[in-house]
Chains A and B, each alone.
Chain A
Amino acid sequence: MAALVRLVIPAGGTVAFFALAWTTVRVIRPKEPRKFFLVYALALLPLAAWLSTRLWPVVLVDDAVLLAAELLLQLLACFTIWNSFYSILWGFSGSLMHDLVTDPAVRHRERLIASYEAGEGGVDRMMARRLPNLVRGGWIDYERRTLTIRPKGRWIAMGTMAAYKVFSLGMGGGVK
């Protein structure tokens, strides 16, 4: 029970992360919020470690294990907020459900597909948001409507393919 009381530290760190992330996205409106999220998640760790060791000094291995668990749980909670932000609010299924709830006109498979096929710059909505990020990140080249993978992208693709095989995920990418 005493060990569980220590969870108040990661809980506080998580609340602070959410407040910082929310303020940043609403006020600064950065193009890439994930960079801010990374800085906040990492910066809150030493703060949590300092506070925790003031309350519960590390004397035995038990204390070190509990401190490591606290910090990892805080990082996990921050990452859960981060991942929810991108996967649910920006993700494909979340976007579909958002469209279906807010726009009754697309509550038909063909009309919904048509609304996604009409993108910008000659590509569909699915590609329109991702292509610029892939090019800007140096993962691919995009010229004359042809995408070419770059060495950096090749490594990521190989790692992803390995994960597909190791965890029997089929071809991933959200397609079942």
Chain B
Amino acid sequence: MWMSVLLAAVVIGIAQAAAVALVSATRPGRNIYAIVIGVVLVMAPLVFFAGDAIVRTPLTTGGRAGVVLLHCAIGGFLFHFMTLPDRSVTLRILVELWRAPNGALSIEALDARYGVRGMIESRLRQLQDGDCLVMAPDGALVLTPRGERFGRIVAAGRRLFRIESAN
């Protein structure tokens, strides 16, 4: 019984990852998180109706709902997994070192490949695309109401956890 459930979870995970990889390959540059959510939502009814086949046992409606919940949870982990390669500064540093001759770089050489200036400029563009701020031609940064809310949420969260410095 438990082996069937475990196999079902593995099948769902592989199917989701394959679908996300396929969609992101055909739509390069699209938001990977939107793709993950879209894939999970589109697959949910399919998972419900194919529940018996996925678990390889006849299921009640409650059991099928359980398979859909399992599918959503696995999709949530896939979503979180994407934040690692997509957003992590630490992992990108490791990749740059791995790609470098002899696996070594000076601080200056690493900065030229993946430095704080390029990083901040890119993040500011993304925050502008996300309607959090507006960058004026002279470099002035004006927060939008959404950006104000985001910044205040981060500040409140840091106060809540007593985080004094982070970047």
> Which residues of A pack against B, CB within 8 Å?
2-4, 7, 22, 25-26, 29, 58, 60-62, 64-66, 68-70, 72-73, 75-76, 79-80, 83, 85, 87-98, 100-102, 107-110, 112-113, 116-117, 122-127, 129-130, 133-134, 139-140, 145-149, 153-154, 156-158, 160-161, 163-164, 166-169, 171-176
| Known contacts A92-B167, A110-B139; A97 and B132 CB within 8 A of each other | yes
CA distance A153 to B147 in the complex (A): 35
Query: B42 near A: Cβ within 8 Å?
Result: no
Closest to A145 in B: B107
Known contacts A61-B5, A147-B105; is-contact A66 B161 (Cβ 8 Å): no
* Closest partner residue, chain B, to A166 (CB atom): B21
Interface residues of B (CB under 8 A from A): 1-2, 4-5, 8-9, 17, 20-21, 24-25, 28, 32, 55, 57, 59-60, 62-63, 65-67, 69-70, 72-74, 76-77, 80, 82-95, 97-99, 102-108, 110-111, 114-127, 132-133, 135, 139-143, 147-148, 150-155, 157-158, 160-163, 166-167
**Alpha-carbon separation in the docked complex, A33 to B145 (Å):** 32
Q: Is the interface of B mostly helix, strand, loop or mixed?
A: helix
Please tell me if the beta carbons of A65 and B67 are within 8 angstroms of each other in the complex.
Answer: yes
Smallest CB gap from B24: residue in A: A168
Q: Are B104 and A89 in contact (CB under 8 A)?
A: no
**Closest 4 interchain pairs by CB?**
A173-B92, A101-B151, A62-B63, A157-B98
Q: Which of B67, B98, B124, B140 has the most CB of A within 10 A?
A: B98
Selected from A98, A130, A140, A166, the residue in CB contact (under 8 A) with B158 is A98
Are the CB atoms of A100 and B123 closer together than 8 Å? no
- 5 A-B pairs within 8 Å (CB atoms) are namely A65-B70, A69-B69, A80-B76, A94-B150, A97-B127
B40 to chain A, nearest CB (A): 12
Within the complex, the shortest CB–CB distance from B8 to chain A, in Å, comes to 7
Is B124 a contact of A96 with CB atoms below 8 Å? yes
Q: Quick one: given A61-B57, A100-B133, A102-B151, are A161 and B122 in contact (CB under 8 Å)? A: no
Are A76 and B77 touching (Cβ within 8 A)? yes
